[in-house]
Amino acid sequence: MTPPARDLPRRDDLDLIPLDIDESGTRSSFLLEAPLLRHDGALYGGTAIAASMMAMEAASQGEVQWITTQFVAPAPGGRMIEVHTEVLASGRRTAQLRVEATIDGEVMFASLGSTGVPREDGLTGQFETMPVVTPPEESAPRMHGPPRGEAPTEPAWERACEYLVPEILESDRPAAGTMAMWTRFRHGRPMSPAQIAFAADMVPVAIARGANKMGAGTSLDNSMRFAGGSDTEWVLLELQGNMAAGGYGHGLVRVWSQSGKLLAVGSQTASMVYLFD
């Protein structure tokens, strides 16, 4: 059981996204630069959800239990982002928070979520099992990615975290669209919940795969639910497309520690525009 949280957000998270937080804990800012960017130089979605989680932790000193981040506008690299957090309600264990991130007063992303203090005797359990996949040392680098263990030269988010593609050997969930990726932070330490959210912003790829196409889409949001940080360096992203209609696609991600613990479940909707056979 995780002890009551103190001194949130975590040092490792601040090393990734250097939020400058005011004394109240409700206002902060950070410079949008590598490795917080997409390949086109705009805000990477994983940065938006991770920064929102850190802002919620700073304002409430609790662990994020669930969060939804809405991607409103493609914030350009090189700019300062202002983050404002409202505590909508605060009880004995659980706080309800709302985050708005702006540049010059214009909303770039917005989040809702809850933080909480886990109860020692509170319901704890896991109702699903990890798929059996090849371990990281027997998994392939992502197509078009740099060689194993090497950071890419472009200033995007893969400078912070590495991805490998295992073979899925056995799964309880044989749905079309299921794919898997191992990921770890290059700092080599187990991931915090915010780092899991940063690395897991990958669902649209699985929606395209579900339709037997390559490509991805523009994520509209990312929603994640957490059971804590990882106990292992590598975590497995188990990705799955659910369905698509009229160009909007929906999918899921389960995040597993290498020891088989279900760390997080997430879902995303994307406008599926970049597809090829």
Interacting residues with its own copies between 132 and 191 (CB under 8 A): 172-177
Closest contact distance (angstroms) between CB of 64 and its own copies is: 10
Selection from 98, 101, 84, 110 nearest residue 32 by Cα: 101
Closest contact distance (angstroms) between CB of 43 and its own copies is: 14
Stretch that binds its own copies, among 11-19, 31-39, 151-159, 222-230 (CB under 8 A): 222-230
- Three-state secondary structure call for residue 114: strand
Residues 115, 121: Cα–Cα separation, whole Å? 18
Q: Which amino acid is at 82?
A: E
Residues in region 91-120 near its own copies by CB under 8 A: 93-94, 96, 98, 107, 110-114, 116-120
- Give the residue with the Cβ less far from its own copies, 45 or 249: 249
Selection from 141, 189, 185, 168 nearest residue 254 by Cα: 168
Stretch that binds its own copies, among 23-31, 144-152, 180-188, 224-232 (CB under 8 A): 224-232
Quick check: 262 binds its own copies (CB under 8 A)?
A: yes
One residue of 18, 40, 124, 132 binding its own copies per CB under 8 A: 124
Rounded to the nearest angstrom, the gap between the alpha carbon of residue 76 and the centroid of all alpha carbons in its chain is 20
Q: Which two tokens stand for residue 179?
A: 């794919």
Quick check: 244 binds its own copies (CB under 8 A)?
A: yes
- Give the residue with the Cβ less far from its own copies, 156 or 265: 265
Closest contact distance (angstroms) between CB of 200 and its own copies is: 14
Distances (CA, A) of 34 to 17, 40, 50, 83, 184: 10, 11, 15, 18, 17
Residues in region 32-61 near its own copies by CB under 8 A: none
Closest contact distance (angstroms) between CB of 245 and its own copies is: 4
Quick check: 247 binds its own copies (CB under 8 A)?
A: yes
- Give the residue with the Cβ less far from its own copies, 42 or 112: 112
One residue of 101, 201, 237, 250 binding its own copies per CB under 8 A: 250
Quick check: 228 binds its own copies (CB under 8 A)?
A: yes
Instruction: Check if the beta carbon of residue 161 is closer than 8 Å to that of residue 126.
Output: no
Q: What does residue 101 show for φ and ψ, rounded to 5 degrees?
A: -115, 130
The DSSP 8-state label assigned to residue 96 in this structure reads: E
Closest contact distance (angstroms) between CB of 203 and its own copies is: 11
- Give the residue with the Cβ less far from its own copies, 78 or 122: 122
Bridge partners of 215, per DSSP, are 275
Other Cβ atoms closer than 10 A to 153: 8
Stretch that binds its own copies, among 33-41, 44-52, 161-169, 218-226 (CB under 8 A): 218-226
One residue of 72, 103, 165, 168 binding its own copies per CB under 8 A: 72
R_g of the chain, CA atoms, integer Å: 18
- Give the residue with the Cβ less far from its own copies, 27 or 213: 213
Bridge partners of 168, per DSSP, are 133
Selection from 194, 219, 221 nearest residue 111 by Cα: 221
